[in-house]
Amino acid sequence: MDLISTVRSRAFAGALERSGPVGEATPERIRAVELHAYFGRTHAVRGVSLGVQTNRITAIIGPSGCGKSTVLRCLNRMHELVPGARMEGRVLLDNEDIYAREVDPVMIRRRVGMVFQRATPFPTMSIYDNVAAGLRLNGVRDRRTLDEVVEHSLRQAALWDEVKDVLGRPGTSLSGGQQQRLCIARALAVQPEVLLMDEPASALDPASTLKIEGLARILRDHLTIVLVTHNMQQAARASDYTAFMLGGEVVEFGPTADLFTRPRDPRTEDYITGRFG
């Protein structure tokens, strides 16, 4: 058995089997069209066009510095918050351009939530207040409503049973994996349509990583998820579709099982077999 066959059969076969079939195609929730992103004079993302299907998990993989996290931040207008950053092209959410002049970026970030690489619970807030923070910013004051949404969000994040008796403790008192699930609950509380996850398990132990991946697969019944990861096995386990980026461009995109077992581009094959990256 050659190297490529060995890698495919051992490293990914089990993960792909666990991820399950993609099933029928669903309508696109987000589409990037000829997306270019810059940091000052640095051209970080070059002409990316990519469709993200509703209620599916789309992974973006590639070596460090390839532009995958920048693409993610362009999908909810976080990129423009970086000093000196700009973008060109269009991002369509339900066929509406989120960069149109009349569109409120705050509303876009509510509809397209984000979970970052490192857990970022608000350090001065309790577990309860961390989850309720977005609701309160949106004017929700009724305690009964807050209680219901906090519990529902923590249940969605598979955290309720672990924290229901300690909701008044600081969010930072939780373990790393619990803190990341708390941040997911905080994002879910404002009922986003899309959840962007930027390396959400990179700082976690294997057990916590599997919990995050399992949670993502459960959430895809209600949400559209875009997952940036440097971990190819994680992409194979958790995603329905995968995009491989290199040098700011999308080299290949398709169903995860196809990309990992039958890559069309030799650069994709070189990356997933460990020849570079």
Give the pairing type, strands 241-246 and 249-255.
antiparallel
Cα–Cα dist 39/32, whole Å: 18
Q: Is the Cβ–Cβ distance between 194 and 223 less than 8 Å? A: yes
Q: At what angle do helices 176-188 and 206-219 cross, to 10 degrees?
A: 20
Query: What is the phi-psi region of residue 77: left when phi exceeds 0, alpha when psi lies from -120 to 50, beta otherwise?
Result: left
Higher pLDDT, 18 or 52: 52
Residue 5 clears pLDDT 70, i.e. is over it: no
Strand-pair partners of 145: none
Banded model confidence at residue 274, pLDDT cuts 50, 70, 90: confident
pLDDT in tens, 115-144: 998 889 999 999 999 999 999 988 999 999
Question: How far apart, in Å, are the Cα atoms of 110 and each of 189, 209, 241, 246, 252?
Answer: 10, 25, 24, 30, 30
Q: Return the pLDDT at 22.
A: 55
Mean pLDDT, residues 90-112:
95
Banded model confidence at residue 256, pLDDT cuts 50, 70, 90: very high
Q: Which run of H or E residues covers position 134?
A: helix 127-137
Residue 157 clears pLDDT 80, i.e. is over it: yes
Q: Return the pLDDT at 138.
A: 85
Q: Return the pLDDT at 44.
A: 97
Strand-pair partners of 254: 242
What pTM value is reported for the model?
Answer: 0.88
Q: Is the Cβ–Cβ distance between 268 and 252 less than 8 Å? A: yes
Read off the tokens for 60. Answer: 């973006």
User: Regarding the domain delimited by 3-8+26-120+192-272, which CATH topology (the fold level of the hierarchy) does it fall under?
Assistant: Rossmann fold (3.40.50)
Q: Is the Cβ–Cβ distance between 156 and 216 less than 8 Å? A: no
pLDDT in tens, 187-219: 999 999 999 999 998 888 898 889 899 999 999
Cα–Cα dist 227/86, whole Å: 22
Banded model confidence at residue 151, pLDDT cuts 50, 70, 90: very high
Cα–Cα dist 87/65, whole Å: 17
Mean pLDDT, residues 156-181:
95
Q: Is the Cβ–Cβ distance between 220 and 19 less than 8 Å? A: no
Residue 7 clears pLDDT 60, i.e. is over it: no
Cα–Cα dist 50/32, whole Å: 5
Mean pLDDT, residues 161-166:
96
Cα–Cα dist 236/15, whole Å: 6
% residues pLDDT > 90 (the chain): 81
Cα 95 to its chain centre, rounded Å, is 20
In a 3-state reduction of DSSP, which class is residue 156? Answer: helix
Residue 160 clears pLDDT 70, i.e. is over it: yes
Return the CA Rg of the chain. Answer: 19
pLDDT in tens, 9-27: 444 454 554 444 455 677 9
Read off the tokens for 223. Answer: 């949400």
